[in-house]
Structure 1
Amino acid sequence: MTSVNVKLLYHYVLTNLFNLCLFPLTAFLVGKASRLTTNDLHQFYSYLQHNLITVTLFFAFTVFGSILYIVTRPKPVYLVDYSCYLPPPQLSCSVSKVMDIFYQIRKADPSRDEAWDDPSSLDFLRKIQERSGLGDETYGPQGLRQVPPQKTFAAAREETEQVIIGALENLFENTKVNPREIGILVVNSSLFNPTPSLSAMVVNTFKLRSNIRSFNLGGMGCSAGIIAIDLAKDLLHVHKNTYALVVSTENITHSIYAGNNRSMMVSNCLFRMGGAAILLSNKPGDRRRSKYKLAHTVRTHTGADDQSFRCVRQEDDERGKIGVCLSKDLTGVAGRTVKKNIATLGPLVLPLSEKFLFLVAFIAKKLLKDKIKHSYVPDFKLAINHFCIHAGGRAVIDVLEKNLGLSPVDVEASRSTLHRFGNTSSSSIWYELAYIEAKGRMKKGNKVWQIALGSGFKCNSAVWVALSNVKPSTKSPWEHCIDRYPVEINSDSSKSEVRVQNGRS
């Protein structure tokens, strides 16, 4: 018997231990009851009559406790639907087009000093671009495609308004919800935060009501989408019978880097145009038409540690140009933060068999210390059916795939999203969820884990439960290209290739 079969048997026995013990206990009680005589029943009724007050109090406390539990427990939060923005075809950017944009940005820089120009910088960008896992169909904003590129505030605002309004119009059209029914609004954009705020822009564009509870989250990185969901969840537990609207996006025009600092140039190769709008509800009547129910949100912040705090940082380079610097410590920080996050999430979602193994391994490591170097990694595939790992880059996906013991199909949605849309920051996990739906893999009762990493440093998770066999929404971002995926990365040539793989869907 293989070790895999032994573990599956162990998992089955421990998970169904209660049912396995209940059967013989029930049989024993039935056998006892069948041997009860008429005299035994009379004695039992007599006992109840002489202890009527005790029985009544017990029954009253049971009813009162049940009612109190039903009234005070948090109401379910439903995900009615969501929409991922799909830019028009004319904004598509091949690798060569992206390189041309970088060249034009540097050429048009009025403060450019040729003495400071590093001729190898564009070659460095090209190599990073080709090895990034991004394909030739990602999207870039209109302002940066012009010659010379427009890095103006107006161009940045135009990009963000185009993404947010496009996603919301499709969401409202699909759900048939009147914008004035929205009671809670949360918008997150890390680097672009104009005045009036982006949340105010949404209120103005769609004429939302004056008493809406509106929030604008800035500077919280790629994991801000889960933070926005968590905030909306808490608000829905307080404000009854309403909708919450969450909008997640990032701006490319405003945050593009034009200098020679290579630790800042990497982000130019990964981030692309995109955004998502999510409609949540706490109305009991919306359960039947909703796609998912929110099961758990777990937020982990390791910013108290200086290394974690500084590993992703927006700052000036030596020439005074603003960019986002990615530290060499990023991978290590991400790994440690993810471990803390899953240590909190694990007890919430893992079956009893994995909790027991984790506890035994934890105690053994504490007692033996140096003799056990590696902690036990729970098998999350026993509890989670689908994984949406933030498409931050190939390295991020590779690390989490290895550390969580996932298979290639488990990270397929993440790699495909990175290839097709690039790193769209906090909205990438929604493009990944749309991919799983487009492949027809989301079945009733399935659990999906969204895990996002962001500056600060943060790791945030959300677990959803499918309420039905989920079909892709109208105008899904994968509607016209899902048959060409998954992607395979050719590690020899460092370039990605798309291969049609029939039968994988």
Structure 2
Amino acid sequence: MEDSVREVEMVVFGVVDTLLAKTGVKCEDIGILIVNCCIYNPEPSLSSIIVNRYKFRENIITYNLAGMGCSAGLLAIGLAKHLLQVNHNTYAMVVSTESVSEHFYYGEDLSKHLINCLFRMGGAAILLSNRPSDHNNSKYQLLHTIHTNTSASDCNYKCIFRDEDTVGIKGITITNDLLITAITTIKPNIVALGSIILPIKEQFLFITNYIARKLLPSKHIQPHIPNYSNVVEHFIPHVGGKMVLDQLQKSLGFSDICMEASRMTLYRFGNTSSSSIWYALAYVEAKGRVKKGNRVWQIAFGSGFKCNSAIWCAMKTVDDEYDNPWADEISGFPMTLAINEPTPLFFEPTK
């Protein structure tokens, strides 16, 4: 427990200190605080720990999201968006992290060791504002958030599950339904998002193709994949793992360069849970690819099963920043990743 406290405080205080120094925002001006950490849930809560550390004002609105997996960071962004619609002229701070110490598995059940191999410590702090005076200072404008939850399905609900092994050691079980569950949960999220951001022509082609496949199943008509690259310049999927990224690229038809940020983030930082999409966005920024008017699509998915998307519009060209986590080594990326044989992974058989 002491290790978890030191670990989380090191990361959380570090990212909050950096954010406050970078933006110049005073603690008393922050009206909303949302913290998400899946497994580490102390008493008092992480949100209370942050309020105490930075002496936020007494009427600050605080939320502590727990047990919501890798998609919780974008879910917190969606919650902040709704709160900012009814609380005017204020700031919302979102802090996303995870504890490696709390979910490390020491037992003998091989299906629980995947988490030990894949996850790393990380964190991110994001500041959102609805103050008119911040319009010209902000890096991005939040345009849309989409949330999909398929927990009603027993198969989806149980595909990532924290439980005890036969000798009582806690760990996270991942079943062999994970890949199918991820794709079936991501699909309705993408469809819902497409109905908002895709041009009418693409929506018409998608609907007519869908109807044709339903009416003429014997014809084996291939599904129409909308060209999302025409409406978003940067695609930032959660770095859940190589298999998921491969399947996502295949399903949506994105190019290798569109997937580069997430693949390099997985290579360099591992899966930092809900904060991984911010490391991937930082990669695109460090490369100098974000220009004024560009749209960025972040999509994250995780246990439950849940999927969340956010669409941002760059308010200005984002220059290389000294405190970017990639700043010291971005010139060495992208790496050429070796094409290896699939790693033998041990999944719990689906029950």
Segment of structure 1 superposing worse, 367-376 or 154-163: 367-376
**Which of 282, 289, 295 is residue 434 of structure 1 equivalent to?**
282
Query: If you compute each CA radius of gyration, which structure gives the higher value, 1 or 2?
Result: 1
SS of 1:333's partner is helix
One-letter amino acid of the structure 1 residue matched with residue 254 of structure 2: L
Partner of 1:317: 165
One-letter amino acid of the structure 1 residue matched with residue 251 of structure 2: N
Partner of 1:341: 189
One-letter amino acid of the structure 1 residue matched with residue 335 of structure 2: V
Question: How much has 1:261 moved relative to structure 2?
Answer: 1.1
Contact conserved, 1:222 with 1:455, CA < 8 A, in 2? yes
The sequence identity of aligned pairs, in percent, is 50
Question: How much has 1:370 moved relative to structure 2?
Answer: 3.7
CA distance in 1, matches of 2:139, 2:271: 25
Residue 304 of structure 2 corresponds to residue 479 of structure 1: no
- Structure holding more helix per residue: 1
CA distance in 2, matches of 1:334, 1:371: 28
CA distance in 1, matches of 2:5, 2:308: 28
Question: How much has 1:473 moved relative to structure 2?
Answer: 3.7
Residue 36 of structure 2 corresponds to residue 175 of structure 1: no
Alignment of 1:55-66 (within 5 A): none
Question: How much has 1:360 moved relative to structure 2?
Answer: 1.2
**Which of 239, 242, 251 is residue 99 of structure 2 equivalent to?**
251
Residue 70 of structure 2 corresponds to residue 222 of structure 1: yes
One-letter amino acid of the structure 2 residue matched with residue 395 of structure 1: M
Question: How much has 1:247 moved relative to structure 2?
Answer: 0.2
Segment of structure 1 superposing worse, 240-249 or 463-472: 463-472
One-letter amino acid of the structure 2 residue matched with residue 460 of structure 1: N
Contact conserved, 1:351 with 1:382, CA < 8 A, in 2? no
Contact conserved, 2:147 with 2:306, CA < 8 A, in 1? yes
How many equivalent pairs are there? 343
CA distance in 2, matches of 1:243, 1:155: 32
Residue 155 of structure 2 corresponds to residue 307 of structure 1: yes
Question: How much has 1:386 moved relative to structure 2?
Answer: 0.3
- Which has the higher relative contact order, 1 or 2, with Cα contacts under 8 A spaced 6 or more apart? 2
User: What TM-score does the superposition give when structure 2 sets the normalisation length?
Assistant: 0.96
Change in CA separation of 1:466 and 1:264 when aligned onto 2, cut-off 3 Å: same
CA distance in 1, matches of 2:60, 2:218: 56
Contact conserved, 1:186 with 1:246, CA < 8 A, in 2? yes
Alignment of 1:92-491 (within 5 A): 153-372=1-220, 374-491=222-339
Contact conserved, 1:186 with 1:228, CA < 8 A, in 2? yes
Question: How much has 1:239 moved relative to structure 2?
Answer: 0.3
CA distance in 2, matches of 1:397, 1:366: 28
One-letter amino acid of the structure 2 residue matched with residue 457 of structure 1: F
Change in CA separation of 1:329 and 1:206 when aligned onto 2, cut-off 3 Å: same
Change in CA separation of 1:493 and 1:299 when aligned onto 2, cut-off 3 Å: closer
| Cα offsets for 1:263-311 (capped at 9, x unmatched) | 1101100000100000000011101010000111000000000000000
One-letter amino acid of the structure 1 residue matched with residue 44 of structure 2: P
Segment of structure 1 superposing worse, 473-482 or 368-377: 368-377
CA distance in 1, matches of 2:225, 2:19: 38
Contact conserved, 2:292 with 2:317, CA < 8 A, in 1? yes
Partner of 2:347: none
SS of 2:224's partner is coil
Contact conserved, 1:246 with 1:279, CA < 8 A, in 2? yes
Alignment of 1:65-84 (within 5 A): none
SS of 1:483's partner is helix
SS of 2:103's partner is coil
Question: How much has 1:375 moved relative to structure 2?
Answer: 2.5
| Cα offsets for 1:173-220 (capped at 9, x unmatched) | 110111111000000000001000000011011110000000000000
CA distance in 2, matches of 1:382, 1:476: 28
CA distance in 1, matches of 2:156, 2:226: 25
CA distance in 1, matches of 2:340, 2:38: 36
Change in CA separation of 1:472 and 1:196 when aligned onto 2, cut-off 3 Å: farther
CA distance in 2, matches of 1:239, 1:370: 54
Structure 1: runs of 5+ lacking an equivalent: 1-152, 496-505
Contact conserved, 1:257 with 1:268, CA < 8 A, in 2? yes
CA distance in 2, matches of 1:390, 1:480: 23
Segment of structure 1 superposing worse, 349-358 or 297-306: 349-358
Partner of 1:19: none
What is the alpha-carbon root mean square deviation over aligned residues? Answer: 1.2
One-letter amino acid of the structure 2 residue matched with residue 275 of structure 1: G
Contact conserved, 2:321 with 2:327, CA < 8 A, in 1? no
Question: How much has 1:377 moved relative to structure 2?
Answer: 1.5
Alignment of 1:24-35 (within 5 A): none
Question: How much has 1:472 moved relative to structure 2?
Answer: 3.7
